[in-house]
Chain A
Amino acid sequence: MSEGLLNVPFSERAGAALGDRFLQEALTIATTKFIDLRKDSFAGFPEGDALRDQARSIKEATLQKLDVYLGQLADNVERLGGRVHWATTGEEARETILQLCRDRGVRMAVKSKSMATEEIELNEALEKAGVTPVETDLGEYIIQLAHEKPSHIIAPAIHKTKGQVADLISEVAGRRLAADPEVLTAAARVQLREKFLQAEMGITGANFAVAETGTVVLVTNEGNGRMVTSLPRIHVAVMGIEKVIPSMTDLVVFLAILARSATGQKLSSYTTLVRGPRQPGELEGPEEFHLILMDNGRSRQIAGTLREALYCLRCGACLNVCPVYRQIGGHAYGHTYPGPIGILLTAMLRGDESVKELAHASSLCGACKDVCPVRIDIPRMLIELRERLDRQKIAPWAERFAFGTLRRVLLSPAAFRLSSALGRVLQRPFLNNGRLTGLPLVLSRWTRTRDLPPVASRTFRERWKDLQ
């Protein structure tokens, strides 16, 4: 999303999403489908709960010794003939890739789906440098054609309807295609096939990187990841440093729960394991392999309150169940990572100031925590984030004043009684058939769409005397 849109308050971005009929339809259909698929998948998988606990423990333990595992990963990748690049910031990661493109005369780069490259807005940087990036995941391809950003971590074009997709792919095809997923996918395959053959560079993210073997693991469903990592001469993988895991045994644990959480599959259609560039005697694979280990604000959080957000596998399950995401979709959040986990990741990557509104874009219903494959306590961390915003006085003055007043009332039974008496007097003009409507000021935010019960003529504590 462009910076311009971020100048609009979050509530207005959300309001626009609520009024978008196409978006509403697309969101309801897609999130409901994902929820059901996930539920069914875990229902027939009694080991799931124990594996989730185990996965969480692995993440916890790995972060304790992150430097050790990253060192081991880097050594193994280099031993296999790959190059490792350490990037402290997103800008460094981007610059590393641009430098590679310049040095090797790259004109076109094919990409498989990667949130890490979205995070550093790599496509824009490549275009500016004269390199054409081509997204090859179908969803990413669609939104690239539409000049948009992903609105979901695993289903980037979740906000698009079939008809809208048909328009986009037809335009490239130069003829009118039916709004039929099979027809459109076949057309996109043809369009992408020549790009795979033309591109000098393939760019991917990494779902995991195994320290003990130097293996980069990609979990995909369309086979495009395999083409991106094997056809072009150069393969560049960009990963956040938290994606490293110690061993192949650990990988098995994660693979067992990742696809189930994301799409309800036992395993994704393709699990691609990449170990360095093409080895002597091998028929396939790139001549060069580069691994970019990107920090970009992550290591700061290892000992911080948002630590658990670093366990995230990017499965998107928390988005699908989030009542707020289900209403407004991903774009309204305004940053690379949407949904409840996205709020935490945004705070991590862009600082607390950037989430002063978003930190409250949750009813704290806990559905996200319930489905998270590594049981990240998202609601708890959102509360911690709010606490930080209040403490740093980033929260608006009026809000802090209101809660200060609330504190004084709640600490004094006399003040509490007084405020109920006051409420009874003040509410009189707004009483309408025993309900409050049309309240002024901040309460109008309630009564515009809902009635409010009036303060009772006798509160419980007043009626208690009769009950004795």
Chain B
Amino acid sequence: MITCLGDLFFPEVGVAMVKLLRRLGVTVEFPEGQTCCGMPLFNSGYHPDAAAVAARTVDLFAGSEHVVVPSGSCAWMVKAEYPGLLAHDAGRRAAALALAARTRELSQFLVEVLGVETVASSFKGRVTYHDSCHLLRGLGESRCPRALLQGVKGVELVELPGADECCGFGGSFSVRLPEVSTAILGKKLDNVERTGADCLVACDAGCLMQMGGGLSRRRSRVRALHLAQVLAGEEKA
């Protein structure tokens, strides 16, 4: 599942994920009718609209054995919110529950479904990892992405102080309250730069848009990358 921000702004993340999965022997399909998980509508309170998006997404992925998402927040949306949103439609609700069970965020899919903690890849540089809120507190995941990073040859993983603190993105929050959002981001990026890392890794397109946008504005030498890009081994620090 390549959701809206990934499709439009970070196609290279999707490409990296496809190559990585294929290397690991996974057959990858991309149902082309997909657009977005519906979280922007849901989080702003437009629930009937979010339910309509959820319904078509559930239908589109009905035939997939596993659904892999390179974004913790979209995975959380599918797993935690779809069944409730579609509660009024018994058939769709059952399908949503089944989809929720089949859906995994990328790092969790690699470690928990494929049983892979070390992917054959190399990357040279000092890397720090930001815990995206929905992946960390929603899906309870902090270990898999770190383990995978540590497994990459040439990666020196340094812990980010306050790694579990929000980057200030929050979807529409980032434009509704841009000053507050940017102030939160400022703290995050100060911490990132203090680690001396060459590269900041996260598992969510939203956080990468926020942190990447902040880093490039302050002309930082730190690059923001998605985990898939490091694991695919096509990026250099």
Q: Which of A364, A389, A446 contacts B170 (CB 8 A)?
A: A364
Is B78 located at the chain interface by the 8 A CB criterion? no
Q: Which size bracket describes the interface of A in this complex?
A: 35 or more
Provide the B153-174 mask, 1 if CB < 8 A to any CB of A, else 0: 0000000000011101111111
CA distance A145 to B177 in the complex (A): 33
Q: Give the contacts of B28-68 with A (CB-CB under 8 A).
A: 28, 30, 32-36, 38, 40-47, 49, 52-53, 56
Report if A403-B9 is in contact (Cβ < 8 Å); known contacts: A410-B53, A446-B175, A453-B209.
Answer: no
Nearest opposing residue in chain B for A395, CB measure: B45
Nearest opposing residue in chain A for B183, CB measure: A327
B44–A390 contact, CB under 8 A? yes
Provide the B209-229 mask, 1 if CB < 8 A to any CB of A, else 0: 110111011000000000000
Provide the A366-405 mask, 1 if CB < 8 A to any CB of B, else 0: 1101100000000000011111111100010001000110
Is B180 located at the chain interface by the 8 A CB criterion? yes
A365–B180 contact, CB under 8 A? no
Nearest opposing residue in chain B for A361, CB measure: B177
A390–B8 contact, CB under 8 A? no
A461–B185 contact, CB under 8 A? no
A14–B179 contact, CB under 8 A? yes
CA distance A459 to B170 in the complex (A): 23
CA distance A455 to B169 in the complex (A): 18
B184–A327 contact, CB under 8 A? yes
Say what secondary structure dominates the interface of chain B: helix
Is A33 located at the chain interface by the 8 A CB criterion? no
CB of A362 to closest CB in B, whole Å? 7
CA distance A403 to B44 in the complex (A): 9
Report if A328-B213 is in contact (Cβ < 8 Å); known contacts: A383-B45, A453-B10, A459-B11.
Answer: no
Is A43 located at the chain interface by the 8 A CB criterion? no
CA distance A255 to B167 in the complex (A): 34
Provide the A296-339 mask, 1 if CB < 8 A to any CB of B, else 0: 00000000000000000000000000011011100000000000
CB of A145 to closest CB in B, whole Å? 29
CB of B157 to closest CB in A, whole Å? 22
Nearest opposing residue in chain B for A458, CB measure: B11
Is B2 located at the chain interface by the 8 A CB criterion? yes
CA distance A130 to B32 in the complex (A): 73
CB of A123 to closest CB in B, whole Å? 30
A407–B46 contact, CB under 8 A? yes
Which B residues are CB-close (under 8 A) to A14?
A: 177, 179-180
CB of A370 to closest CB in B, whole Å? 6
Report if A461-B7 is in contact (Cβ < 8 Å); known contacts: A366-B133, A450-B217, A451-B213.
Answer: yes
Q: Give the contacts of A1-50 with B (CB-CB under 8 A).
A: 11, 14-15, 18
Q: Which of B7, B43, B134 contacts A460 (CB 8 A)?
A: B7
Which B residues are CB-close (under 8 A) to A178?
A: none
Is B138 located at the chain interface by the 8 A CB criterion? yes
Report if A451-B216 is in contact (Cβ < 8 Å); known contacts: A388-B45, A406-B40.
Answer: yes
B11–A463 contact, CB under 8 A? yes
CA distance A15 to B180 in the complex (A): 8
CA distance A459 to B35 in the complex (A): 12
Q: Among the interface residues A404, A407, A435, A462, which one has the most CB atoms of the partner chain B within 10 A?
A: A407
Q: List, sorted by A's number, 10 A–B pairs whose CB atoms are closer than 8 Å.
A: A327-B180, A360-B176, A361-B180, A363-B168, A386-B43, A411-B35, A411-B52, A453-B10, A456-B8, A463-B11
Q: Using a CB–CB distance below 8 Å, which chain B residues touch chain A? A: 2, 4, 6-12, 14-15, 18, 28, 30, 32-36, 38, 40-47, 49, 52-53, 56, 133-134, 137-138, 164-166, 168-185, 209-210, 212-214, 216-217
10 new A-B contacts, CB < 8 A, other than A411-B53, A420-B7, A460-B14, are A15-B179, A362-B173, A366-B133, A366-B137, A395-B45, A406-B49, A407-B49, A413-B32, A449-B178, A462-B11
